[in-house]
Structure 1
Amino acid sequence: MLQNVYASASSLRDHDHRGQFMNDNPALAAALIVFIGAAAQWFSWWLKLPAILLLLIAGLAIGPGLHLFSPDDMFGDLLFPFVSLGVAVILFEGSLTLRFSEIRGHGQIVTRLVTLGAGVTIVVAALGAWMLGLLSFEVAFLFGALVSVTGPTVIIPILRSVGLTRNAANVLRWEGVIIDPLGALAAVVIFQFVAVDTADPGNFILIAEIFAAGVALGAGAGYAFGWLLRRHVMPDYLHNVIALALVLAVFVGANEIAHESGLLAVTVMGIFLANMRDVDVEDILDFKESLTILLTSILFVVLAARLPTDAFTANWTMVAALMGIILFVARPLSVLVSTAGTSMPWAERAVLSWIAPRGIVAAAVSGLFAIQLDRAGVEGAQTLVALTFTVIVTTVLLQSLTARPLARLLGVADPEPRGLLIVGGNPVAHAIADSLKKLDFDVILADTSWNETRKARMGGLRTFFGNIVSDDADRRLDLVGIGQLLALSTRAPLNTLACLRYAREFGSGSVFRIRVADQAENVAAIEGRLLFKEDTTYEALEQKLAEGWQIKMTKLTDEYGFQKMLEQQGGEGIPLYAVSRDNVVYPFAEDRTFKAGPGWQVANLVRPAEEAATPEASAAERAKSHLQTESPPKLPD
C-alpha cells in the first residue's frame, strides 16, 4: 500500500546525501528559498495562474527532483515549530476574513455550499480514500476536510480568465472567500480526533480539554485585543506588531495548556476579532496579507521539498480513481444538494459542479498535520500530503484549462465587460463615476477613505473601501463585468501601482491614469495611458468643478459632428470620454485615436450655461437641441 511506500521512502531520506548543495550553507539556503518563493509569486501573477502551482513545482524541483535541498536535514528539530508558527499565522489571517454577516448576505446557495455542500464533499472524499485503501478511516476524514476548501487565491484567477455570468461568478467567489476559514476550522477539529486515540474512552476527556482550551483562549484573546483596538489604547504603528506577537503567544500558550489546541485557538481568535462590532481590522489584515504571502511562499517550497520522489506515482490507479470521485461525484453532488429548490439555471449549476480548485489552506495545513501525525506515529501521514497535493495540482491545472471552453459551451460566459473600475474618492472621480452611472454603466469607485467611500455609496455608486492593490482587493473586489480602469486618485504612485496591477487584468490598453501636478511624465506605457488633454491635470479639473463647471453629454449626428462640437465650445470644453453606438466607453487619452461618429455620445466638462452665453457662443445656442445635460449631484466642498 501507499503507506508502506511512503514509510520506506521517508526512512531512506534520513540516510541519503541529497541536499548537500543548499544544506551545507544555511544562509544561502534561506536566501534561495525566499527568492524562489518570491519569483514563483511573480511569475504566477504574470502568467495569471494560481501561485500555488509554481510554488509546488519549485519545491519539488529543488527537493526530490534535483536533490539540492532537504528540509529535514537542514532544519532538524526546528522544522516542526517553524512550520507550525507559519501555519498559525496563515490560519489567523484567513479567519480574519470570515464575517458571519457575509454568510447570510450572499444568498441561500453560498450558505448551503459552505455548510451542507462542504459536509457532502468531506464525506464523499473521505469514503473514497478509505474504500480505495489509500488512507485509514480517521485520516481519510481529515483528508476530506482538507480537500473541501477552495479558497480565493486559486478560484479568483480562474474566474477572471473564464468570464462567467455575474450570478455564477459571485457564488464561486464568495464560496472561496467564506469556506477558506471554515474549512480550516473543520480540518483542525477533525485533526483533534485523529491525533488522539479515540479507542480509549478516557481520551474523550482529553479531546474535550483541547476544544475547551482552544475556544476559551482564542475567544478571550480575540475579545481582549478587540477591546484594546476599540479604545485606541495602542498607537496605530504598533497594531500589526502586537497582533502578530499575540497570535504567536496564543498559539504556543494554547499548546502548553492542552496539546494540539493552538491552531484551534488562533482560528477562533481571528473569527471572534473579525465579528466584533466597532473594531477595524483592515490595517491588520493588510499587514497579515503581506506576511502570509511570504510565509506561504516559503512553506510551500519547504513542504514540497519533503515529499518522497515517488509521491505522485505509487499506486497511481487508486489515486486516479480517487481524483475521479472528487471531481465527478463529490463536487457535483455538493452543488446538487446546495442548489436544490433554487432558480439557478442548470447550465450555471454544471459550471459550479466543475470549478472547485483547491489551494493554500489544503497544502499548508496538510503539511503541518503530516509532521504532527508522523511524530504521533499515525500511519498514512505522508500519504495525506501526497494525495492533497495531487488534488491541488489536478484541480487547478484541469479546471484552469477547461473552465472557459465549458462556460462558452453551456452559454454562461459573460459578454465583453463594459464596466469601469475608478480609483479615487475625490470630487473629480465622483463626478465622472456619477455621469457614467447615469448612462447605466457598471461602475465601482474604490478609495481608502471611509468618508469618501460612504459619500459615493450614498450617491448610489458601487464602492470598494480599501487598498485597490492589496490581496484583500483580490479576494473581495467583484470585477465581473468590469473591463477598464480609470486611476483618478490624487496620489500619483497609487495610480501607477493600480495601472501596473490591472494592466494584466484588463490589458495595458484599458488602464488609464490622470496627471497629477509635479508628476514625472516619462512613465512607461504599462503604467497607464494619460487621460484627457496634454495640459489637463487632476488639479485643473478639480478647480473647474469647484467653479461650477459641469459634465454634459452631447449626442453626435450627421450634421453635428465631433469637430463641430469642439468649435461650439470655443476650445474651452474638456472631452472626458465617448460612448459608442454599441454602448462601449472610450476614455479620451493622449495616445488614443478613435472616430466618434453619428449616434455616439461625448461627455465634456464645460462652463455653466449662464457663463457660456456670450456672443461668440451663439452658434452653440443654435445647437442646443443636440445637447443632453446631466449634472452630477452637488459635491462636498
Structure 2
Amino acid sequence: MDAINTLLLFAGLLLFLSVVATPLSRFGFPLLLIFLGVGMLAGEDGPGQIDFDDFSVAFLVGNLALAVILLDGGLRTRYDTFRVALRPALSLATVGVMASAGLTGMFITWLLGVDWRYGLLLGGIVGSTDAAAVFSQLRQGQVSLNQRVTATLEIESGTNDPMAIFMVLFLLEVLTSTQPFSWQSLGVQLLLQFGIGAAGGVALGYALSWLVTRIALVEGLYALLILSGGLITFAAINKLGGSGFLGVYLLGLVVGNRPNHATEHVFRVMDGLAWLAQAGMFLILGLLVTPSELWNNALPASLIALFLIFVARPAAVFLSLLPFHFPWRERLFIAWVGLRGAVPIILSIFPLIASLSGARFLFDITFAVVIVSLLLQGTTISAAARLLGLRIPDQGRALDQYELEGGGRLRFMLSLFRVEPHCRVEGHDAGALPRGRQVRCIAVLRGRRFLYPGAGFRFQAGDRLYLIHPARHADKLATYFRMERGQGRLSPRRFYGNFMLRGDSPMHELETIYALQLDPADRTRTLDEFIRARLNRPPVAGDTVSVDRILLRVRALEASGRIERVGLRFRSGDDKPPGSG
C-alpha cells in the first residue's frame, strides 16, 4: 500500500509541476517541451532520480495518449476545411512523408556511415509531423492564419501517422526477416493500413454518432461514451491490420460534424482529456530518456535535425504542394511548422521492442531531434507567421457557447460575446445584430451588473452579450464583435480596405468606376468568378488578387465556398479612387 501511495504521490507531483510551469508558454515556450523537461528532471540523471526504462509501458501510454489526442483533433475539425485542404493535406501525409523520410535517410546514411536500411529506418521514424505538437502549438500560439494553412497543417498531422508507421514496420521487417523482399506484400500492407483505417473509422463514426443521438445520459457521460468508442475503434482497427490512428481521427471527424449530443460541454471534457494525455505521454517519454546519453549524441542529432528542418521538410512540402498552387509564403510556413513530437519517439520504440541491434542509439537520436525541433520550430511559429506576412485579422470568436436542447433540426446556441472597441455593434442597439437570422440578445453583463436591453439600449465596449441564435450562424455572428480598427496592419479596415464589395458584383462595373484595364473575358465575370480564375485554387479569407493599382482581398465566404464579400484597397494605401483628389 505504501508503494502505491508513493507512486501516486510522484505521479501527482509531476503532473502538478507540469501544469504550474505552463505559464512559460506565454513567452513562446512549447508546452510539450515543458512536460518533457519535467519528466527528464524527474529521471535518473535529474534531481528526481527515478529509474524508469520500461519501453513497453511507455509504448502503451504513448499509443493510448495519441488515440485520445487524434480523437479530440477530429472532433474539432470541420467538414468545410476539407474544401480547401483535403487534397494538399493528403499529398503531404503520403508523398511528403516518403520524400522527407527518403531524403533524411540518405543524409543519415552518409553522415553516420551506417547501412542504408538503418538510415531509411531512422528517416522514417522522424519523417512525420506530430498531431499533438501541431495541434498544441497552433492553439497555443493564438496566431490568426488563413483557413487553407491551418486546415492543411491539422489534417496533415492527423493523417500522416499511418504512412510513417507503415514505413517503420516495413523497414523493420526488411532488417529482421530472412524472407526476400516482395513489392506485392508491400502494396497489400499499404492498402490494408489505409483502407481498413479509413473504412473502419468512418463506419464506426456514423454508428457512434447514431448512438450518441439516441441514448439519454447524464451530460458528463457523453464525452466518456465518445472516448470509449474512440478507444474501441482504435484497438479494433489495429487488430484487423489497419491504421488505428487514421481510424480514430476519422471517427472523431464524423461524430464532431453530425448533429448529436457532442456539443460544447463534450469539447470541454475532451480538451481536458487531450491535455492530460499530452502531459502524461511527454512525462513518461521524458522519464524514459537518459540526458547524459543524449548529450553524447548531440552533434549528429543536431545535424540530422537541421537537415530535416531546413532541407528535407521544405523539399517535401514544395514537391507535395506543387499541384495545388499554394503561394510560396504559405508553403514555406507549412514547411517550418513540421513539428516533431511524441510520434517519432513512439516509433523509435518499435526497434527496441523488436530487439534490433543499435535500437537504443536510434531512440536517443530521435529524442534529440524532437527536442531540437520543438526548441527551434516550436518557439518561432508566431514570428515565422509575422515575418512571412501570413497573419490575417482575427475573425472573432465567442467567449463561451452552449447548445440548447430542442429546436428540432434547427440547432440553437447560447453564446457569450464581448463588445470590442470599434466593432460593428459598439454604440448601436440590437438592430445592429444580423437581421433575419433569428438572433436575440437576452442579457448584457456591464461591469458587475446584468442588464436586459430594451428599446433605445445601446451596446458599449466591454459589454458582454448573451445571444441566442441558430448554430449555423455562429461564425458569421462572431465577425460583428471583432475589433475593426486600431490593430496596426492587422486592423480589418486597413487589411481589407474601407470599400466592401459583394462577390456577385459584375467586373465591368469595377472597370468603369476604377478605370481598370481588363481582358474582354474578365468583363463578363462576377467578382467571385474573377478572383477564382486568378487564384486557380479554392479561395479563403485573406486571399489577394491585384488588378492595376487595386488590391481585391477576400473577406468572407458562404458555406458553399462562394465568395460573399471582398475588400478593396489601393496599393498606395490611401483608399482613394482615381481622380478623387
Shorter-normalised TM range: 0.5 to 0.7
What residue in structure 1 maps to residue 565 of structure 2? Answer: none
Q: Cα gap change, 1:377/1:114 in structure 2, threshold over 3 Å: closer, same or farther?
A: closer
Q: Given the alignment, which residue of 22, 26, 29 partners 2:7?
A: 26
- Equivalent position SS for 2:48: coil
User: Which whole-Å CA distance do the structure 1 matches of 2:79 and 2:335 have between them?
Assistant: 27
Q: 2:206 aligns to what?
A: 223
CA contact (8 A) 2:67 2:234 kept: yes
Give aligned-pair identity as a percent: 20
User: d(CA) in 2 for partners of 1:366 and 1:84?
Assistant: 12
Q: Is the 8 A contact 2:100 2:123 kept in 1?
A: no
Cα offsets for 1:443-476 (capped at 9, x unmatched)? xxxxxxxxx9xx8597699xxxxxxxxxxxxxxx
Kindly indicate whether residue 34 of structure 2 is the aligned counterpart of residue 54 of structure 1.
Answer: yes
> Residue type matched to 2:212 in 1?
L
Residue 319 of structure 1 aligns with which residue?
Answer: 301
Match of 2:18 among 30, 37, 50: 37
TM-score of the superposed pair, with normalisation by structure 1: 0.56
User: What is the distance in 2 between the residues matched to 1:308 and 1:260?
Assistant: 33
Deviation at 1:290, TM superposition (A): 0.7
- Once residues 18 and 359 of structure 2 are traced to their aligned partners in structure 1, the CA distance between those partners, rounded to angstroms, is 25
| Residues 1:305 and 2:313 are matched in the alignment | no
2:74 counterpart of 1:91? no
SS in 2 for 1:136: helix
Seen in structure 2, the aligned counterparts of structure 1 residues 289 and 278 have a Cα distance that, compared at 3 Å, is: same
Q: Is 1:242 equivalent to 2:229 in the alignment?
A: no
Match of 2:529 in 1: none
Unaligned stretches of 5+ residues in structure 1: 1-21, 442-451, 462-487, 493-513, 518-537, 554-576, 586-637
Residue aligning to 2:424: 437
Q: Show the counterpart of 2:46.
A: 66
Secondary structure in structure 1 of the residue aligned to 2:296: coil
- Which whole-Å CA distance do the structure 2 matches of 1:193 and 1:57 have between them? 32
**Aligned equivalent of 1:600:** none
* Residue equivalent to 1:139: 121
TM-aligned CA distance change 1:211 to 1:414, over 3 Å = closer
Distance 2:190 2:320 in 1: 31
Q: Is the Cα contact below 8 Å between 1:185 and 1:264 reproduced in 2?
A: yes
Among candidates 368, 383, 389, match of residue 390 of structure 1: 368
Residue by residue over 1:223-247, the C-alpha shift from the partner in whole angstroms, topping out at 9 and shown as x without a partner, is 3212212334555432122222333
Residue 114 of structure 1, CA deviation? 5.5
* Paired residue total: 442
State the match for 2:166 in structure 1.
Answer: 189
8 Å CA contact retained: 2:97, 2:163: no
Confirm or deny: 8 A CA contact 1:155 1:172 kept in the other structure.
Answer: no
Q: Which residue does 1:533 correspond to in 2?
A: none
Which whole-Å CA distance do the structure 2 matches of 1:208 and 1:583 have between them? 48
* 2:447 counterpart (506, 509, 515): 515
User: What amino acid maps onto 2:136 in structure 1?
Assistant: T
Q: Distance in 2 between matches of 1:552 and 1:35?
A: 40
Q: Distance in 2 between matches of 1:427 and 1:245?
A: 28
CA distance in 1, matches of 2:65, 2:321: 36
CA distance in 2, matches of 1:316, 1:351: 27
Cα distance in 2 for partners of 1:296, 1:428 equals 29
Rounded Cα–Cα distance in structure 2 between residues aligned with 1:337 and 1:188: 22
When residues 200 and 490 of structure 1 are mapped into structure 2, their CA distance, relative to the original with a 3 A threshold, is: farther
Q: What is the CA RMSD across the aligned residues, in angstroms?
A: 5.0
Larger mean CA deviation between 335-344 and 127-136 belongs to 335-344
Q: CA 1:127–1:77 in 2, change beyond 3 Å: closer, same or farther?
A: closer
Residues 287-326 of structure 1, C-alpha deviation per residue, up to 9 Å, x if partnerless? 2221111121122111112113344333444323322321
In 2: Cα distance, 1:407 partner to 1:120 partner: 25
Instruction: Give distance in 2, aligned partners of 1:550 and 1:399.
Output: 46
Say whether the 8 Å CA contact 1:59–1:305 is kept in structure 2. yes
| TM-aligned CA deviation for residue 219 of structure 1 | 4.4
8 Å contact from structure 1 (residues 424, 490) kept in 2: no
**Cα displacement string for residues 522-562 of structure 1 (whole angstroms, at most 9, x for unaligned residues):** xxxxxxxxxxxxxxxx41xx33xx22445799xxxxxxxxx
Supply the distance in 2 between the matched residues of 1:423 and 1:61 (Cα, whole angstroms): 37
Q: Which has the larger radius of gyration?
A: 1
| In structure 2, distance between residues paired with 1:339 and 1:259 | 30
Question: Do the aligned residues in 2 keep the contact of 1:228 with 1:234 (CA within 8 Å)?
Answer: no
Aligned partner of 1:558 in structure 2 is none
1:358 matches 2:290:
no
Q: How does 1:150-229 map to 2 (within 5 A)?
A: 151-158=134-141, 160=143, 167=146, 170-194=147-171, 196=173, 200=179, 218-229=201-212
* CA 297–211 in structure 1, closer or farther in 2 if over 3 Å, else same: same
The residue number in structure 1 matching 2:83 is 104
Name the structure 2 match of 1:547. 455
Asked whether the equivalents of residues 161 and 245 of structure 2 are also in contact (C-alpha less than 8 Å), the reply is: no
1:30 aligned partner, one-letter code = A
| 1:409-558 aligned within 5 A | 412=389, 423=399, 436-437=423-424, 514-517=446-449, 538-539=450-451, 542-543=452-453, 546-549=454-457
The code of the aligned residue for 2:311 comes to V
In structure 2, distance between residues paired with 1:68 and 1:581: 46
